[in-house]
Amino acid sequence: MADRYLSFTGTAPGRFLTRRLGLPRPAPLERGAFSGGLLHLTAGKTDLDLAPVLARTGLTPRPGPGDAGRPAAVVLDATGVRDVDALAEVHAALHPVVRSVATSGRVLVLGARPDPADHHQAAVQQALEGFTRSLGKEIGRGRTVNLVRLTDAHAAESTLRFLLSPASAYVSGQVVEVGTADGTPAPDDWDLPLAGRTALVTGAARGIGAAVAETLAGQGAQVVVLDVPRAEDEARRAAERLGGTALALDITAADAGERIAAAVPGGIDVLIHNAGITRDRRLVNMDAERWSSVLDVNLASVLRTTDALLAAGAVNRGGRIVATASIAGLAGNSGQTNYGASKAGIVGLVRALAPRALAEHGVTVNAVAPGFIETRMTAAVPLLIREAGRRMNSLAQGGLPADVAETTAWLAHPASGAVNGQVVRVCGQSLLGA
């Protein structure tokens, strides 16, 4: 469903009324290509070798803040900030330039992991999180602000490319930790990083799952479109369109993992747990079937199939597992105790399994947590609730299935082996729980 308010605010009367009444003024998000330069700033003393990686983002480095024109992106290296005096350099670096960032532009702050042995460093590095989240809520004009904690620029290349590109249009106010690379070589072709790899997406016949399957196929993957038997025709049509294969399967079946492994004899390189349902009621009105059906589809099936596929060696080394959580699992939502519990369970799964899966199987485990995404399901939501969902985020609009798909593709990237155990919200920095 079209966002008529967003369209209206782009007109002269809309600009006048929203300015006079103090209403949200969302800017259309750039999801195509950036034009403009990249401004690289530092705060504190740093040894991070960023220049070669930033040069490969496709954005032209700018000489400095005084250069003419609006930068498409600003990268502030604050990894060397270790005390409050150095933290002041963050303000000094960004204060003069933040207003000049282009509409739908990017501000990316790079930090270090807080050091438990140095409480001064830990304090100011944690301060960067409050800084970036706050700046994200005030910067406006479709611009995003994120924080990446890293030690090696090259291990973070896929992350920097993603967060400095239009693909991250609906990701803001996030903190991503990047560890050391897992040894998987960077792809020969960054436009087709999944060439020669097999990706299986559950719940892929429609909605967000279909967008994920399409994005992965566009990056070269051979996609297996998995959905329930009653959606088999849709799944087959989607698979044919993408040059993939369809698999009609009830993901809650006890033997689902074994059947998936048998259907993909060459193994899975990318496993996307997207299938999910809602059965909303307040707890006082929720019967046992509504509770158990949501928990079985959204959480239990993910646990069972993941365990089975890892145990069988059906997820190839260097593989990626990406599960779909939700901001409802992070912040809660009235009428969704079952759904919120299931999606919070996905977060727990990711955090606990990620280090073990990497150590034992060479596989990373991450999650995306969508906010208000424009789908057929949200189009059926009552108008006032739908408008609240759209406006209650820093970008003041709903996201698109493609936004979730692009974030999933970044986590599925062969060069994202240093990103593990992360839960990344795709919510425009929703005001709920942010």
Catalytic site positions: 339
C-alpha span between 203 and 208 (Å, rounded): 8
Phi, psi of 369 (to 5 degrees): -125, 90
Tokens 């469903």 sit at which residue? Answer: 1
Burial class (CB in 10 A: 0-12, 13-18, 19+), 335: middle
CA 43 to chain centre: 27
C-alpha span between 356 and 306 (Å, rounded): 13
C-alpha span between 365 and 357 (Å, rounded): 7
Burial class (CB in 10 A: 0-12, 13-18, 19+), 295: middle
**Which residues lie across from 223 on neighbouring strands?**
199
Tokens 């646990």 sit at which residue? Answer: 303
Supply the DSSP symbol for 167: G
C-alpha span between 198 and 272 (Å, rounded): 11
Tokens 């892929």 sit at which residue? Answer: 204
Residue-level length of the chain: 434
Q: How many CB atoms lie within 10 A of CB 342?
A: 26
Residues 6+ apart with CB under 8 A from 205: 225, 227, 231, 234, 235, 238
HSE of 108, CA atoms in CB hemisphere, 13 A? 29
State the DSSP H helix or E strand holding residue 353, giving kind and residue range, or none if neither: helix 337-361
Structure tokens at 301: 């099936």
Tokens 């999933």 sit at which residue? Answer: 408
Handedness of CA 217, 302, 246, 240 (dihedral sign): negative
Residues 6+ apart with CB under 8 A from 135: 94, 98, 107, 145
From 297, 303, 274, select the one nearest 201 (Cα to Cα): 274
